[in-house]
Each structure stands twice: as structure tokens, then as C-alpha cells.
Amino acid sequence: MKKILIANRGEIALRVMRTAKEMGIKTVAVFSEADRKALHVRYADEAVCIGPAASSQSYLKMDTIIDVAKKLKVDGIHPGYGFLSENAEFAQKVKDAGMIFIGPTADAMRVMGSKLGAKHAVEKFNVPMVPGTKDAISDINEAKKVAIKIGYPVLIKASAGGGGKGMRVVDDEKDFEEQIKLAQNEARSAFGDDAVFIEKYVAAPRHIEFQILGDNHGNIVHLFERECSIQRRHQKLVEEAPSSCLTPEVRQKMGEAAVNVAKACNYTGAGTVEFLVDEKLNYYFLEMNTRLQVEHPVTEQILGLDLVKEQIRIARGEKLGYSQSDLQIRGHAIELRVCAEDPSNNFLPDIGKLKTYKIPQGYGVRVDDSFEAGMEIPIHYDPMIAKLITFGKDRNEAIQKMIRAISDYHITGIETTLSFGTFAMQHEAFVSGNFDTKFIDKYFKPEALAHSANYTEIAAIAASTVFSAKRNKRVTDTKIQNTEGANWKKNRKSF
């Protein structure tokens, strides 16, 4: 592979191009009229404008992108995440045009693109799933019987749905029929497919996903898990690897289940197997994402592997080159999504110009971004500005580094989720590892923000003072000093 086209924008386009460059592969950027001055355009060896700002007229134009790729004699296309990354038709078109789609086969994408299809595919592979209906609901009375058997509350899901779209909780049999009908209508208009099914509703689960790699020679490994329980409206805000709640035994079992899911669809490339985990550490396979995910850097940091490099190597037909027993977790990594959203105002998207933009540096800090001071946040796309990733020898070190890195990150001109990051890193539930997908609903109030921002400053002072005062003896990393303002103030005075 000598030249690849990146069918994406923003930080992920840049991130893919950096690895390509290291591998001696030339890069082609595509961009919309809104992205003329974007960094991914400047970084690429060649760049082609493919249409107006709206994604539907640029980044989603399959044939336009493939035409550009053919004209520029590209060998492969990397789809990044979002846009066309999980579109089986696009993967097929790339292949039919004689190029390599850097991702799974169109078949694997098709199977896993349907939640019911995925359940059927893994049926014979000993993978735990939430109790529910196996097929699309066609007979309401049959479905009612299943609902009674599994017990209310039940959750209605759309087979073609994603990101929580089209889900409905039903608490009582009297609402069942009406909710099914509403869900079917909603699914038909949103996804063009009215197949819905029901599952037992797992209240306050944790979201834990396993990274998978499969080559074209039948080898499949997992790269352990990421926990993404801190979400809002199905948007992840904080992710980490490994999870703070799994035991080595459960981790091993889940890893085996994840590999089985990948085997069930002859998976090749990088993929993610998503599980729900309840408070007793029961785990249930939910779905498989057939793309590189936003949060992949935390896995890279704890394994010392470049996942884009692995994707390209696999796409070139190379063997994995390691087996499961060669892979080991080293350290702990946390990612915070830095989004142009105002946490003090319901996380409403904020628009404007980045007046100041200075990123944190230092050992154990990584920033994947695509902005510079003076740039405007385009309103047409995802509001994510950057991903701030920290890694340390253990979870506490990664948390401390995150608190420090956030306080070293200077953004003015727009509101961001940085302040929420400080809140989360200092919250007792997060620090102790005793949290779930209801973290924000349960604990977050805008009033907590100003408060924790002050703590950040104090934390930085306290940590550095302790460090030098004790002649390089670490005294801060046994316990994160984050819970009580009073303690912080005491510490500060004593320095």
C-alpha cells in the first residue's frame, strides 16, 4: 500500500495520516467547503474538495469519494469513525472499484449492523445475552408472554437502531402494545426497518467494550476492555482502560466471549464488542461496532500498539504477529472528550472562535486534536474539539495526570467539557470505581463546576509542593485527595 485516502475529517483524519506517514504511505485528504483551512487538509500529501459543508453533500458522498480515489491512484481507503465507517455498501463499492477498504468485510458489517442479525450470528458461540425475544416482534400476544416471563421493566429496541435511538422502557403490561407500535413506527421512519425486539431492562448498567483485532488468516485476539460508563445522551465523555470493576476472571471470560463474537462473523480488522455489565458483574453481549472507535487511544496506551498501524497491516494481508498470551495490560489510561459544549448549561453546543488554544504537555499526556488558536468551530459537524488522554502506571496516576493536564489546557472563546472532566476526576464515585451509566444523572450539578475548578488549581499546587518538599518521595499517589475541600485547604496551608 503506497497511498491511502482518508474519508473523514477532524482529529481522526489527522490521526490516521500520522500513522500512514510513519509507514511511508502517502495520504489523500478529502474536504468540504467548510473545511478548506482544516488541519487534515494541510497535513495530507494531496487534498481534494468534495462538496458543500453539509455531510450529506460531501463526507457521505460515496461515489464522489471513490472517483477521487481512483483518479489519484489510491490503494486503500480508511473511513475513520462516523460518516461512512459502518456503511457496508461503501465497503463493497471500494472493493468493487479495485481498492482496499481499511476495515472489515461488507458481509461482517452487514451482519453486525443489525442487532437481531448479530444475536443470531453469535447464538451458537456461547456468548451471554440479555434475556428477550430472538426475532422481530410480529405477534403482540406472543411478545407479551415473553415480557411477562422475563419480567417488567422491559426495553424495546430497534434492530437497526444505534446510539440508543429508538429505545423505550416499558414498566407495565398495560403500556406494552402501545409502546411497541410507537417503536415500530419510529424505527420505520428513522431506519427504514420496523423490526423491534424486547430485552429485560438492566437498570444502571456499566458499559464495557472489548477491542478486537482479526487478520485475514483466521487469527483473532482481543486487546482487553475499555469502560465508557460516563455518558450523557449516549455521548461518551470519559473512557478508560482497563475498567476499574472487572476481576481477572471476569475479564478473561469476557475477552473469550468477545473473540467468539468476532469469530461468529469471521471478523477481520479492528472492531469493538459491547457489553452491559450489572452490579454483580454479570455481562451481556449487546452489539459489535465494526469500526475504529473514538476512544481507541486508551487501548493503544495500555498495550503499546498503534491500532491504525494494525488496521493497515491487516488490510495489506499481514498476519497479526502475536497471540493472545503475548498481550498484557501495562498501566492505565483515561480519555476525556473535549467538546464545544457548556456543562453548566445542559451541555448545549457552544459555537464561536477558539481565541486561546494551548494544549497540555508532558510525560503521560496525549492530545489528539485538529485545531489551532484562531480557528472557528464548524457548526456542521460533531462538536468534539480534541481528545485528552493521560496514562500512568496505575489508575490513580492517570487520574492525577488528567487533573493536571486539564488545568494546563487553556481554551478561551468557547465553553468546553474540560471543567466536567475535573468534576469527574475528583468525584468520589469515579475515584473509587463505584459508578455506572447513571453517573451524570446521579451526581452532576452545574453548581459543582466552579467549585472543582478551584480544586484543580489547588491540586496542582499541592501535588507539586508535596513532591518537592518530600525530596522526591511520592506521598500523593496512595489516595487521590479529591473528596473534601477542607482537606485540600489544610494541605495547602501546611505547605
Provide the annotated active-site residues.
Answer: 291
- Distance in angstroms (rounded) separating the CA atoms of residues 462 and 460: 6
Hey, which residues between 200 and 229 contact ligand MV4 (CB under 6 A)? 200-202, 205, 207
119 vs 296 by CB, closer to ligand MV4: 119
Is 232 one of the binding residues for ligand MV4 (CB under 6 A)?
no
Is 179 one of the binding residues for ligand MV4 (CB under 6 A)?
no
- Distance in angstroms (rounded) separating the CA atoms of residues 31 and 38: 8
3-class DSSP state of 176? helix
Q: Which long-range contacts (CB under 8 A, 24 or more apart) does 141-150 make?
A: 143/176, 143/180, 143/198, 144/173, 144/176, 144/177, 146/198, 147/173, 147/176, 147/198, 148/173, 150/198, 150/199, 150/200
Hey, which residues between 287 and 316 contact ligand MV4 (CB under 6 A)? 287
Hey, which residues between 87 and 146 contact ligand MV4 (CB under 6 A)? 130
Stretch that binds ligand MV4, among 16-24, 199-207, 217-225, 359-367 (CB under 6 A): 199-207
274 vs 341 by CB, closer to ligand MV4: 274
Residue 99 burial class via C-beta count within 10 angstroms: exposed 0-12, middle 13-18, buried 19 and up: buried
Is 68 one of the binding residues for ligand MV4 (CB under 6 A)?
no
Which helix (H) or strand (E) segment holds residue 206: the answer is strand 206-214
- Distance in angstroms (rounded) separating the CA atoms of residues 265 and 17: 29
234 vs 445 by CB, closer to ligand MV4: 234
Which of 286, 385, 399, 411 is in the footprint of ligand MV4 by CB under 6 A? 286
Which of 54, 155, 375, 429 is in the footprint of ligand MV4 by CB under 6 A? 155
Which of 52, 151, 164, 304 is in the footprint of ligand MV4 by CB under 6 A? 164
Pairing between strand 154-158 and 46-51?
Answer: unpaired
Is 151 one of the binding residues for ligand MV4 (CB under 6 A)?
no
How many residues of this chain interact with ligand MV4, rule: CB under 6 A? 15
In the complex, what is the shortest distance from the CB of residue 157 to ligand MV4, in angstroms, rounded to a whole number?
A: 7
59 vs 347 by CB, closer to ligand MV4: 347
| Residue among 227, 234, 218, 225 nearest 257 (CA) | 225
30 vs 276 by CB, closer to ligand MV4: 276
Number of residues written out for the chain:
495
Is 187 one of the binding residues for ligand MV4 (CB under 6 A)?
no
In the complex, what is the shortest distance from the CB of residue 127 to ligand MV4, in angstroms, rounded to a whole number?
A: 15
Is 272 one of the binding residues for ligand MV4 (CB under 6 A)?
no
- Distance in angstroms (rounded) separating the CA atoms of residues 466 and 464: 5
Phi–psi pair at 168, nearest 5 degrees:
-140, 130
Which ranges constitute the DSSP H helices of 219-293?
A: 248-264
Hey, which residues between 425 and 484 contact ligand MV4 (CB under 6 A)? 437
231 pairs with which residues across the strands?
Answer: 236
Residues interacting with ligand MV4, by CB under 6 A?
130, 155, 164, 199-202, 205, 207, 231, 234, 276, 286-287, 437
